[in-house]
């Protein structure tokens, strides 16, 4: 039997037979069947790409869930309400702190719950002569005390017995220093001696709730403005046994930044619609995203899973510029409906029909 040489045909490439089999074994299909087969192969590739992205998304989603499970992510705003259950205040650790405060002349304000943080409990005290507010906190199995002074310009200083959190970022106007081993008498004395000079706000039982809620709001506004925790801060926050991969950290950063930027949106007075409408169909683009995240975000919002890094023009170097260029090149039909111009700068996109609906 003589087998002649042959050139590789399109059908052979699709079937993976190029150069490996006699062409005579191929079925003698009409051209339209080859076209259908080719289209099916392209569709299968698109589905495979989508499933791969979905797998990565769900895998890193578990990292995000574990991050939330292992620590409380503070809400943008809190409200102190009188507690129904106050039995925790008579437990030895809590009672030891409250007895010290009463011995120093602090007056009890009350025991509070925080509906937005169900696991957090607070026992409030004030010392009007020195303008110091004190709080005993219970969060899960941790109990500690804070003492703080507040100024008319919105700044504050807090001394705490907490033994964690010293590496958390703080706004310059809200100083917080931790002394885990210090007695409350020494803590109070040192705070009054060390605090900066300035016009202090009046501290009273009537003002305690406003001071506490206001301090939390100021911190969360600052966190929202900066876009949440940075990658290095996330690396520090996550305990050693849970250390995620570099990709996992990048995923966490994207989720934290999105959450923070949506909180920032909530604080803006003139936005076109409430934050609750910023669902997954809205793309929030900033410079802390990776190119892979830019591509996935574009594909997810537009449904164009064929978009690739090669579609981003070589002269574009910023992440926000890359997303904008990708939208133009791939005709994504996305509309930039808002822009945050202060760090963390961000662009907010939605599909054109969604923008028209609004």
| CA-closest candidate to residue 176, choices 188, 186, 191 | 191
| Res. 279 pLDDT band, cuts 50 70 90 | confident
Residue 263 pLDDT exceeds 90? yes
Give the model's pLDDT for residue 67: 46
Give the model's pLDDT for residue 356: 58
b/e for 61-76, b at 16 or more Cβ within 10 A? eebbeebeeeeeeeeb
Are 311 and 329 in contact by the 8 Å Cβ rule? The answer is: yes
| CA-closest candidate to residue 322, choices 333, 335, 308 | 308
Q: Per the structure block, which two tokens stand in for 91?
A: 């437990």
In the chain, domain spans: 1-70, 81-226, 246-357
Give the model's pLDDT for residue 39: 65
Give the model's pLDDT for residue 42: 56
As a whole number of angstroms, the distance between CA 149 and CA 158 comes to 7
Give the model's pLDDT for residue 48: 56
Give residue for tokens 């994504």: 332
Give the model's pLDDT for residue 28: 61
Give the model's pLDDT for residue 20: 42
Give the model's pLDDT for residue 238: 79
Q: Per the structure block, which two tokens stand in for 172?
A: 């310059």
Give the model's pLDDT for residue 358: 56
Residue 233 pLDDT exceeds 80? yes
Are 93 and 143 in contact by the 8 Å Cβ rule? The answer is: yes
As a whole number of angstroms, the distance between CA 104 and CA 341 comes to 48
DSSP 312: S
As a whole number of angstroms, the distance between CA 224 and CA 340 comes to 12
As a whole number of angstroms, the distance between CA 135 and CA 145 comes to 6
Is the peptide bond between 188 and the residue preceding it cis, with omega within 30 degrees of 0? Answer: no
Q: How many CB atoms lie within 10 A of CB 26?
A: 13
For 155, half-sphere exposure in the C-beta direction (CA atoms, 13 angstrom radius) is 13
Comparing 223-227, 262-266, 279-283, the range with the smallest average pLDDT is 279-283
Comparing 20-24, 166-170, 266-270, the range with the smallest average pLDDT is 20-24
| CA-closest candidate to residue 290, choices 353, 246, 242 | 246
| CA-closest candidate to residue 94, choices 184, 165, 157, 168 | 184
Condensed to tens digits (0 to 9), the pLDDT of residues 319-356 reads 999 999 999 999 999 999 999 999 999 999 999 876 55
Give the model's pLDDT for residue 73: 65
Residue 314 pLDDT exceeds 90? yes
Give the model's pLDDT for residue 213: 97
Is pLDDT larger for residue 353 or for residue 138?
A: 138
Condensed to tens digits (0 to 9), the pLDDT of residues 57-86 reads 444 445 445 544 444 468 999 999 999 999
Residue 295 pLDDT exceeds 80? yes
| Mean predicted lDDT score pLDDT of the chain | 84
DSSP 74: -
Give the model's pLDDT for residue 277: 87
Q: Per the structure block, which two tokens stand in for 38?
A: 């080719």
Give the model's pLDDT for residue 167: 76
Which phi-psi region, left, alpha or beta, contains residue 312 (left: φ > 0; alpha: ψ -120 to 50)? beta
Q: What is the pTM of this model?
A: 0.78
Give the model's pLDDT for residue 289: 97
Dihedral angle over CA of 7, 8, 11, 17, nearest 10: 120
Cβ-Cβ contacts under 8 Å for 324 (sequence gap 6 or more): 336, 347
Helix ranges (H only) for 84-152 are 92-103
As a whole number of angstroms, the distance between CA 237 and CA 53 comes to 27
Residue 126 pLDDT exceeds 70? yes
| CA-closest candidate to residue 293, choices 53, 29, 7, 79 | 53
Give the model's pLDDT for residue 163: 86
Is pLDDT larger for residue 11 or for residue 93?
A: 93
Are 329 and 310 in contact by the 8 Å Cβ rule? The answer is: no
Residue 154 pLDDT exceeds 70? yes
Q: Per the structure block, which two tokens stand in for 268?
A: 């803006």
Comparing 20-29, 170-179, 222-231, 326-335, the range with the smallest average pLDDT is 20-29
Are 177 and 160 in contact by the 8 Å Cβ rule? The answer is: yes
Are 94 and 143 in contact by the 8 Å Cβ rule? The answer is: yes
Q: Per the structure block, which two tokens stand in for 70?
A: 């292992």
Condensed to tens digits (0 to 9), the pLDDT of residues 39-58 reads 666 566 555 555 555 554 44
């Amino acid at each position: 039997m003589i087998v002649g040489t042959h050139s590789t045909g399109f059908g052979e490439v699709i079937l993976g037979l190029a150069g490996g089999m006699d062409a005579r074994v191929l079925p003698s299909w009409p051209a339209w069947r080859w076209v259908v087969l080719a289209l099916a192969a392209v569709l299968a590739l698109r589905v495979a790409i989508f499933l791969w992205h979905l797998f990565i998304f769900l895998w890193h989603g578990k990292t995000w869930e574990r991050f939330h499970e292992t620590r409380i992510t503070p809400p943008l705003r809190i409200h102190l309400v009188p507690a129904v259950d106050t039995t925790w205040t008579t437990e030895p650790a809590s009672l030891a702190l409250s007895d010290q405060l009463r011995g120093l002349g602090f007056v009890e304000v009350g025991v509070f719950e925080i509906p937005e943080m169900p696991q957090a409990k607070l026992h409030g005290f004030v010392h009007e002569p020195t303008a110091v507010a004190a709080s005993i906190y219970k969060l899960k199995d941790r109990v500690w005390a804070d003492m703080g002074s507040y100024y008319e310009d919105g700044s504050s200083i807090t001394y705490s017995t907490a033994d964690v959190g010293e590496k958390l970022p703080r706004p310059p106007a809200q100083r917080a220093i931790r002394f885990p081993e210090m007695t409350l008498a020494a803590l109070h004395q040192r705070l009054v001696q060390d605090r900066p000079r300035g016009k202090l706000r009046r501290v009273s039982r009537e003002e305690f709730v406003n001071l506490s809620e206001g301090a939390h709001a100021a911190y969360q506004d600052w966190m929202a403005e900066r876009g949440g925790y940075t990658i290095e801060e996330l690396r520090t926050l996550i305990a050693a046994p849970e250390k995620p991969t570099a990709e996992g950290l990048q995923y966490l950063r994207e989720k934290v930044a999105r959450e923070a930027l949506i909180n920032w949106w909530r604080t803006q007075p003139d936005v076109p619609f409430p934050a609750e409408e910023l669902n997954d169909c809205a793309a929030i683009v900033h410079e802390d995203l990776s190119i892979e995240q830019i591509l996935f975000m574009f594909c997810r919002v537009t449904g164009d899973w064929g978009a690739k890094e090669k579609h981003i023009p070589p002269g574009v170097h910023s992440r926000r510029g890359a997303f904008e260029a990708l939208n133009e090149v791939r005709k994504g039909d996305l509309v930039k409906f808002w822009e945050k111009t202060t760090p963390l700068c961000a662009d907010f996109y939605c599909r054109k029909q969604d923008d028209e609906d609004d």
